Structure 1
Amino acid sequence: MRPITRKFVYGLLASVLVLLALGAVPSLLGSGEPYYLTAEPTAESGPAYNLTAEGTDDLTRRRFEYFFSAVEGPANRSKPYRRGPVGVKESFTHSPFDELESFRSFAPANATTTDGVFVEFEGTRYRVRVAQN
């Protein structure tokens, strides 16, 4: 193999490894206090984002993984999420903030509050928001 071809192949392999690392490493990074998506059942009436209409297939569960872990988990809290130390992680990973914004963007206008949104799932109405403790 010619030296220039060998250098090109090594460079290509290095590029692929760097791209793989960018996809895997950010989810492992985290600093500071953890954030949780909370889903507290509420008796308040009014409009809400209807998650039941989307169904509970595997795609919906992966799209709203923090919501489902909050509904099914203890104390109505999702698994913890820690922000990245320099802000890079948020660009490459899924977070509770992403889910809250997704609910906000598809919910009726009256279903949102300053710190959360109302979501209806399987006949139960939840107040969903991001909390730090």
Structure 2
Amino acid sequence: MRPITRRAIAGFAVVVLALLALGALPSLLGSGEPYYLTATPTDADGPAVNVTGLSERRYPYLTEAIDSGRSAPYRRGPVGLKETFSHSPFDERQGLVARNPDARLNGGIVVVDGDDRYLVEVGRA
């Protein structure tokens, strides 16, 4: 094998390994207090985000919060690296606000799942 080909293959392998490490690294970087997405039943009137047909893969924290009241914990990274490469409850809340900005209420957002209404908030518990 020619030296240039060997270097190109080694460089490609290093890039692939670095990308794989960045994919696994965010789950190891959690620090600080955990954040949860909570869904509390509410009787609040007014605009709400319809989440009945939203994908469980796109909104895993929201789905779990609606099913059990609180999502799995999410810990922020120490220097902001984790937030860049991972999905968080903050991303889901921002996605819900983007769907209907008028549904915000007291620091949370009102959502409708079927006939049930919930106030969804990100917080520490």
- Tell whether the structures are fold-level matches, with TM greater than 0.5: yes
TM-score of the superposition, structure 1-length normalised?
A: 0.88
Counterpart pick for 1:119 among 91, 107, 111:
111
TM-score (norm 2): 0.93
SS in 2 for 1:31: coil
Aligned with residue 66 of structure 1, among 61, 64, 67? 61
The one-letter amino acid of 1:86's match is V
Unaligned runs of 5+ in 2: none
C-alpha contact 1:100 1:130 (8 A) present in aligned 2: yes
Task: Trace 1:7-86 onto structure 2 (pairs within 5 A).
Answer: 7-52=7-52, 55=53, 60-73=55-68, 76-86=69-79
Residue segments in structure 1 that go unaligned for 5+ positions in a row: none
Note if 1:98 corresponds to 2:91. yes
1:128 is matched with 120
In proportion to residue count, which structure has more helix?
Answer: 1
Q: Which residue identity is paired with 1:34?
A: P
Percent identical: 54
Give every structure 1 segment of 4 or more consecutive aligned residues whose post-TM-superposition deviation is greater than 3 Å.
none
Q: CA deviation at 1:115?
A: 1.2
Contact 1:48 1:108 in 2 (8 A): no
- CA RMSD after TM alignment: 1.3
Residues of 1 paired with 2:30 and 2:75: CA distance?
A: 5
| Residue-pair matches, total | 125
